[in-house]
Amino acid sequence: MSERVIEIEHLTKYYDGRCVLDDLCLSIPRGSVYGLLGRNGVGKTTLIRILLGLEPPTRGRVKINQIEPQDLTALDRSKIGYVAEGHNLIQRYKVEKLINLCKDIAINWDNDIFKKLTDLFNIPMQRRVKELSTGMRAQLNLALSLSIDPEILILDDPSLGLDTVVRRQFLELAIEVIQKEGRTILFSSHILSDVERIADHIGILLGGQLVANCTLESLKDRVKKLRIIFSDQPPSTLYLTDVINQKIKHREMTLTIANYNEQKQRLIEAYYPESIDEIPLSLEDIFIECTDPQTVSLSA
Amino acid sequence: MWTLVKRELSDVVIFLITIQIITITALAISGSYLFEALEDKPYGLPIHMYSILTIGGIILTWLASIFGCYQMQTDKTHKVSTFLCTLAATRQTILLSRIITGLIFTLLPIILTAIMFYIALQFHPRVFDLGQYSTILIKMFFTLTLLAITNYAFGLQLGLSFDKDQKQIDAGKFLLLLTAISLLLIILVYLKGIGLTCWMILLLLSTCSFWLLFNKYTKVPL
């Protein structure tokens, strides 16, 4: 479990003078399911593309399976399954031709898995890829990625444009992969309930940096939302560190705070509030709070 | 590697067949004139044979550059390399398979033409002595091969810089550029003449072009 499958050190990427990734550090242990979250344009896809060697970094070092992406051999690449955002397949090919190509190139092709998946998805073989619906393209892409029995599965917003049923099938298959020992999944998605369902580690990208990088439990444990009622007008600030968000309405103060502990609780109590209640937070709530520009870092 | 070459070939099969048809048709049309004895014999060759080799050479080298450009441009437009790179294939093997396909495209018509010339020279009743033409023919075919390969390499280079968002502008601009490059190389051959100097220049140009292409392609975002 301690072996790092993905290691990123001080990664910086500029696009046309705009900093997309800023000195980003991240490591993903083998066997984990890492949910990479972030709003549109924060660099999730760029990060994944750099990992796969499709994009060169401006600065910093990236390793996947302890090898830098540009040095990955065909054998190394055969251990990585990738489902791209928008399902980047060769659009003008017929499905059958694309499958044969992937089969011929693959070093480790599991025909049983592939057959099972294509039967399940009912993918029409004689149609061109561009004629398939978004859902079918996603299914085809996933089937191709899973049939190589990947050690690392990288899913870049794979459920984009999928209906609920297909999305559920997709997630179940991903869970099936996870159950195989030592398999690692890097999963980027905007559908946080999906991420919450399968991820055990969470990373939240904001302004080119990871503002959260820890296990899902730890994230839920460390970020608290408190409703504090005062007998009079609340103080404008409680002089606490790691405050993510603060709102005051009449006698009520709503406070989202990171790394909440007894010491911070005592500090709040020093203001003699009438009551302090904890508001339960879902991953989606945490994400919304964390993507506020004033967010503090929650890295492990 | 063979799978990738097969894929490249299947993608350009129409292009490949077209060029073979053009070559063979040109040869068939010219066949009837080929060995008419004429006073004027450039490089010691009958004028028609010389003209056909020259015109064929110009067309072939021009097509080779277009073919290289087309290969890279299609790759960019359809994001083929992006997809292949996520499979068990490296950028180096993808590029190498593309170049092998290009060489097949370039060399096949030359080899076909050479074989047809050889057969015609051996069996044509008015030409008995193949020996008197063989050296110059070999030199001409070798020059043609180098010329076509150099043009192909330049075509690949240009295709790599193709911007898919400016398809229309680039297509016209590239066609003009490729024609200009082909003409410049042909002029170079005429100025230097068929020989060692010309071969060395063409070899140097093609090697540099392939080396630059390799460096660029292995680093460029896909």
User: What pLDDT digit, counting tens, does each position of B103-133 carry?
Assistant: 888 888 888 777 777 776 666 655 545 666 6
Token pair, residue B154, equals: 């330049």
The per-residue pLDDT for B38 is 44
For residue A235, give the nearest of A257, A261, A255 by alpha carbon. A255
Grade residue A269 by pLDDT with cuts at 50, 70 and 90.
confident
Question: What residues 75-104 of chain A have any CB closer than 8 A to a CB of chain B?
Answer: 75, 77-78, 80, 82, 84, 88-92, 97, 101-102, 104
Chain A interface mutation, best of B11, B12, B86, B96, highest count of A Cβ atoms under 10 Å:
B86
The percent of residues in chain B predicted with pLDDT above 70, rounded, is 76
B40 DSSP 8-state letter = -
The per-residue pLDDT for B128 is 46
Specify the amino acid at residue A52. Answer: L
Give contacts of A90 with chain B, Cβ < 8 Å.
Answer: 78-80, 83
Between helix B91-123 and helix B196-217 the angle, nearest 10°, is 150
The per-residue pLDDT for B151 is 92
Is any Cβ of chain B less than 8 angstroms from the Cβ of A71? Answer: no
**Total structural domains within chain B:** 1
B46 DSSP 8-state letter = -
What is the number of alpha carbons within 13 Å of residue A237 lying toward its C-beta? 6
Greater confidence (B13 vs B209) lies with: B209
Instruction: Find the residue in B nearest to A141 (Cα).
Output: B83
Token pair, residue B16, equals: 């490949």
Token pair, residue A101, equals: 């190509």
Is residue B150 predicted with pLDDT exceeding 80? Answer: yes
For chain B, what is the mean pLDDT?
79
Query: pTM for this one?
Result: 0.82
CA distance B86 to chain A (A): 7
Specify the amino acid at residue A36. Answer: L
- B76-100 average pLDDT score: 90
Is-contact B30 B21, C-beta < 8 A?
Answer: no
Residue pairs spanning A and B at CB distance below 8 A: 61
The per-residue pLDDT for A61 is 92
Is residue A112 predicted with pLDDT exceeding 80? Answer: yes
The per-residue pLDDT for B32 is 45
Is-contact A24 A8, C-beta < 8 A?
Answer: yes
Instruction: Find the residue in A nearest to B90 (Cα).
Output: A74
The per-residue pLDDT for B152 is 92
For chain A, what is the mean pLDDT?
85
What residue numbers bound the domain in which B211 lies?
Answer: 2-219
The per-residue pLDDT for B207 is 94
Query: Of the ranges A66-75, A154-163, A231-240, B20-29, which one carries the lowest mean pLDDT score?
Result: B20-29
Is residue B45 predicted with pLDDT exceeding 70? Answer: no
State how far the Cα of B191 lies from the Cα of A87, in Å rounded to an integer: 52
Is residue B147 predicted with pLDDT exceeding 50? Answer: yes
